[in-house]
Amino acid sequence: MPTARKKRAAPEATVASPSLEPEPEGPPSKRLRGPAAATATAERPPVPLLSVQQYVSVVNELLKMEAAAPFVEPLDYVAYGLPDYPKIVKHPMDLGTIQSKLGFGSYQRGEDVLKDVRRLG
């Protein structure tokens, strides 16, 4: 005679601690960590579109900021030993390039300037 199997008890539901964040979705290389993770999920207010001339003063003010120093010139990926940089970053951008494009009149609309500014980071 076959013996009757005992049923396992269902595991008790565990309540997640409120301090624990849910596991982010996507591959590890696409997950944000640290302060960037909090700002990525938070609702951001819409950025008002400015004219190209207004962006000239915005970019000039950004260039004066000490925190903008890493974004003033294009990254020298060879010097930093990052041979895959051009494969990963399809459209590199820096504030110096944006300032030059503004000076040459390369931007037709404020949206185009904003698009390049968003490529910074």
**Cα(106)–Cα(99) distance, rounded to whole angstroms?**
10
Torsion sign (Cα): 64, 66, 68, 72 = positive
For 60-96, write each residue's pLDDT tens digit.
999 999 999 999 999 999 999 999 999 999 999 999 9
pLDDT at 23 over 60: no
- How far does Cα 53 stand from its chain's mean position? 26
Mean pLDDT of the chain: 78
DSSP letter at 3 equals: P
- The secondary structure element, H or E, covering residue 97 is helix 95-104
Q: Helices (H), strands (E): how many in the chain?
A: 5, 0
Residue 119 is predicted with a pLDDT of 92
Q: CB–CB of 94/72 below 8 Å? A: yes
**Cα(2)–Cα(13) distance, rounded to whole angstroms?**
33
Residue 26 is predicted with a pLDDT of 55
pTM (predicted TM-score): 0.60
Residue 25 is predicted with a pLDDT of 59
Query: Which superfamily, per CATH, for 52-118?
Result: Bromodomain-like (1.20.920.10)
pLDDT at 107 over 80: yes
Residue 48 is predicted with a pLDDT of 73
